[in-house]
Structure 1
């Protein structure tokens, strides 16, 4: 998963609007979500290139990061191995990487190897790669109805897409102080800045343009399984979406022959036609979407056999792969959202039975029977910045003033097989058997998944501000303390940080398990008689925050060590050289065995976010600090790691840290 903060604020949304928009369907107001004064890719040319860190800095950062995971003897051995690497083969590989980077100035040194890493992995997409983002619901019943919400989401998605295609979507810019820079004055200044230097002109406003190269893959993109390594295919000129209902697939036209978005009543009518068509059929006995949940080579072999039938090949390519995006309309039997028991629906949306999914699409909108909406996305093509921007814009647009409600008259589409097309494949026994096998394997994996949710009410954004705490460093410290007191140790911990401030940047790893967090955990768990004072413990918390902030800054500026080491090993493999000894060390193994894998998203639109553990005995932790609570959703595999023990320990860790803060404040106020 990923960690990112994006600019669009949702706090200004008008929530009391109860009327749907009336609009001219070919008018600019309907066809485009935004009409930016600055072209969408205005800053792309002037974005700085992702730097390659100095080799000595990478080596030192690696040693520092692995120290909490190693014994003194192991540290000494690692130091020796790293020093040999730095003075020997590491220098040669670093020079080759630098030269390759110079020869490919249009991109970043990590971009292609990172794509290759994703596409070559043979693990199933659900749980291993595809993350889940659940959107907050609309509190107005007339807009929360499943088909109504689906229609509004489809329209807003298309408005986003058309704005992007027309270069009218606002450029993605992170504003340090939105009040001072996210305004017309800033845009006027940017408009007269030479394109070659626009990014640097923006820096003067403390506004940081972000890479948008991934956005063109948001729509019309599919991951195609191939033996050994998958490929991404794009169909940007498509005019239909893929709709799934009870395992059946439908191609639904949403753009007219000229590429304009169809009217709201037409799209509403076509989605209602899908529901009516499906009501007259039994649920799919061979739900092909299950195949996308499988091991990639197995799916590749099945697909190759399946498309040997020319009808299947044509339908799969033209109707499924080429769809702009996927809409999954789930039934009552799939569950609805329950605030007091979130786990069943979250588990279903994250992976579930896979009978009503096509995990290979870049974006899938999942809409439950009660209108609960989520996005499940294929991860190889891009990271959180693009998806979260889309997610936020969708929420804002559908909430601000939606186009249809339960009162909207629709244009009937029953029998309109040109625009609402059931996709009827020819299923043979081999495909039937492959679907059943994939279903059984996925069901076994999903059944082994455990999910635990914590909402901690005593910590939130206002309290963090009041106590002078970094929310992210606070919650990451709590993860370390929770693991230490529950399982008596320290393990490889992963926090993703976006490097999208650079051209073709992807992510860098931030390592939250530090000697500072280790020192605090050991101190706070001491018996009362030997425990440091509250003031001393608070000073240790502040030191943890300082170190965490520095590591985050380094990662965001492309100065971590994980991607550099990854690229150096990739260079060795590409050049046919032996893998250097550093990659065989216990230190490298432990820090990359990410027992604790974490991801957070800063968004007022987000109800929940989740992903699977990245190792069998690990914890996948989606977390956030909201305005009224701190929350975490922890996934584990049963009999591999105990999520319930971790969640209980996390609550205790929050209590301990809060107690230290309160006692230290109380002590300082008495002095």
Structure 2
């Protein structure tokens, strides 16, 4: 049985000779350097707060204003129109001192007034979203303002972003009825229209008033309720149902040495964390534009854990952590990544990882499958945590895991596309990242990194704290930094020197029959869920966005219409379709739903299946889809408004048959695009093999499909399809084949079109999120 080393700064005991005080200088030295690092970070944050507080001006502009005012006074001119003289009257100083101090006071007030005016103009500019609906053409004068603005920090735009507007009841209901028209028969549509009209004339306006009141004082009227009721209050497993995954490069593995890949990956992640803490990351923007997006989701990326509760979970975030938690063959380790305030080199981290891999000690009783508690139902995990992890060594060890910067699994399997069965290997790779063995991931952590035996890597992310574009931004940086900046030696090891080994944790389960029984129960629940997931991952290489854009069609609209055609062929009809959009043009914005199964799309699919020449219908469907996406991005979506109205009705204790029916409708086709946000990090032209596979998620409905896709470069689209084996009507591989055929059929249709065809209106729509 291995022992856990609990480092303490000092300990004392009462002896017959008096108090025996024993100091640990090594621990005190670590505390000292940790404190220095903490204060450096605080000073950096204070500096950033000042810079953000005066943005879009700069602190140095205050000196310019002061000099300008003093220069005008020297020239015997009064730019204050008498205000400086009035300030002088209240200063108990000499005449010359009064003049200087009053000039400084006036200059400061003038400077602050100018900043407020600039920030107001900035907020007005950010509130303007009509650019999204305009045709391609020259950049407008208002947009050019962004180009000449000075370099912002990560959170510089936060306080200037507009608040998410509350749509009118009438507009939301009108758009909702339009979205369900192709899915309902005439009698069913008439019934739904009557329900909507009754809701609007009675309960709707009452609920709307409460919602508008919330929008007045809340930063975002949707986000807190969305996080609470959609994610944290879910009592079922978050594995598969909520968490999602991200994959490594498709064709390349930078090193086959597991410890070396872990060393570079961990280092890259910590370099990214340093950039977030120092706010050195550029603010995210709408792809292809200079319009900034909300950066609030970055705040809880690291040092964050979702802890279970009886009725709702809680997201706990710590300001800093100097270690990561590591799992290998049933054992947990604390791996220190700082020494005397210095971030360890990749080689030093590799050395510690190798020591873990070489450690022959067995797991403690019950320790190996402890992670299954995070994979099963939430209430039993809360009860076990309260009963067995509230004190003693178990609590200390659990705290170490939860306070870690992130979680790392050293997997003893090999994954990736290479081998005798590339297609099957990709499917197994996806399933491994989505759920693993159901106990070798810590699903509560904000994200967990998986390093496989053959050097392949990937991640599993918890969903409540942020959406996929945020974690994708992190993962892009990690892959690029690992491959192109940190690099490896000729023998595939990390660069740098070595450092002492990691610390083993002890999670004692001896005699705790209750927790071991619950681990088995949670594992059974999780394993049943994992075994039911049918994953299929495939790269589509016949063409990509380059050829689609030549047809003057939005690539995303092209794919979404293809998905509708594929579903129609697979299931013989249409279904309510969820496409994730973002609302990060607004402060603390998260997601909105694009109901991509529209009247125009259905008309095109039926015409194509009927053998008609329907290029015009395709263009109408594409334009309609783009407009739906723009509406969702600019706060005019349907589903988040209806969701918030439903929450208000529950608080008021009133029932709405309309809202109840709307929110119970299943999303049998749930789709999302994984955006590539940092194209500059990847040189696809010179390194074509270094392309990402993207990521995916589990199916939302038991009888439906989950489809994630990533548009890579100009000539490839990677798809991730999921469904459940228990549903006899779905098959991920069959649906993947239908997607492949639908893309080809629509391209064949459009490629046969004469070149004089009318162009599609509007710019290519921005990327979206999971």
Note the C-alpha offset of 1:594. 0.4
In structure 2, the residue matched to 1:52 is 166
TM-score (norm 1): 0.83
Q: Does 1:581 align with 2:661?
A: no
Note the C-alpha offset of 1:420. 2.6
2:344 to 255, 262, 265: 262
Note the C-alpha offset of 1:407. 4.4
CA distance in 2, matches of 1:440, 1:584: 33
CA distance in 2, matches of 1:137, 1:468: 29
In structure 2, the residue matched to 1:219 is 302
* Aligned 1:484-503 pairs, distance under 5 A: 484-503=568-587
CA distance in 2, matches of 1:175, 1:608: 17
Does the 8 A contact of 1:138 with 1:399 survive in 2?
A: no
**Which whole-Å deviations, capped at 9, do the CAs of 1:340-369 have from their partners, x for residues lacking one?**
321112111111212311000001111111
2:626 to 549, 555, 561: 549
* Aligned 1:159-308 pairs, distance under 5 A: 159-174=271-286, 176=288, 206-258=289-341, 260-277=342-359, 279-281=360-362, 286-308=368-390
1:321 to 396, 402, 405: 402
* Aligned 1:98-497 pairs, distance under 5 A: 98-104=212-218, 107-117=219-229, 118-136=231-249, 139=252, 141=254, 143-174=255-286, 176=288, 206-258=289-341, 260-277=342-359, 279-281=360-362, 286-317=368-399, 319-332=400-413, 335-338=415-418, 339-341=422-424, 342-402=426-486, 405=489, 406-408=492-494, 411-412=497-498, 416=501, 419-427=502-510, 428-497=512-581
CA distance in 1, matches of 2:221, 2:389: 36
CA distance in 2, matches of 1:47, 1:38: 14
Compared CA separation, residues 210 and 429, structure 1 to 2 (3 A): same
Q: Which protein, 1 or 2, shows the higher relative CO under an 8 Å CA cutoff with sep ≥ 6?
A: 1
CA distance in 1, matches of 2:710, 2:617: 23
- C-alpha RMSD over aligned residues: 2.5
Does the 8 A contact of 2:225 with 2:644 survive in 1?
A: yes
Note the C-alpha offset of 1:140. 6.7
CA distance in 1, matches of 2:223, 2:433: 29
Further displaced range: 431-440 or 557-566: 431-440
In structure 2, the residue matched to 1:625 is 711
**Which whole-Å deviations, capped at 9, do the CAs of 1:179-227 have from their partners, x for residues lacking one?**
xxxxxxxxxxxxxxxxxxxxxxxxxxx5111111111110000000111
> Helix, strand or coil for the counterpart of 1:126?
coil
> Helix, strand or coil for the counterpart of 1:633?
strand
Q: Which has the larger radius of gyration?
A: 2
Does the 8 A contact of 1:484 with 1:490 survive in 2?
A: yes
Does the 8 A contact of 1:480 with 1:513 survive in 2?
A: yes
Structure 2 unaligned regions, length at least 5: 1-35, 49-149, 680-690, 759-770
Runs of 4+ with >4 A deviation: 282-285, 407-414, 666-669
In structure 2, the residue matched to 1:188 is none
Compared CA separation, residues 455 and 267, structure 1 to 2 (3 A): closer
Compared CA separation, residues 398 and 284, structure 1 to 2 (3 A): farther
CA distance in 1, matches of 2:253, 2:710: 25
> Helix, strand or coil for the counterpart of 1:173?
coil
Compared CA separation, residues 312 and 658, structure 1 to 2 (3 A): same
Compared CA separation, residues 618 and 361, structure 1 to 2 (3 A): same
In structure 1, the residue matched to 2:640 is 563
CA distance in 2, matches of 1:138, 1:652: 24
CA distance in 2, matches of 1:62, 1:42: 36
CA distance in 2, matches of 1:408, 1:358: 26
Structure 1 unaligned regions, length at least 5: 1-25, 177-205
> Helix, strand or coil for the counterpart of 1:624?
strand
Equivalent residue pairs, number: 589
**Which whole-Å deviations, capped at 9, do the CAs of 1:470-513 have from their partners, x for residues lacking one?**
11111111111111122111111101111111101010000110
* Aligned 1:21-32 pairs, distance under 5 A: none
Note the C-alpha offset of 1:37. 4.9
Compared CA separation, residues 337 and 165, structure 1 to 2 (3 A): same
Further displaced range: 394-403 or 552-561: 394-403
Note the C-alpha offset of 1:664. 2.2
Q: Does 1:658 align with 2:747?
A: yes
Note the C-alpha offset of 1:647. 2.2
Q: Does 1:97 align with 2:211?
A: yes
CA distance in 2, matches of 1:173, 1:322: 31
Compared CA separation, residues 564 and 447, structure 1 to 2 (3 A): same
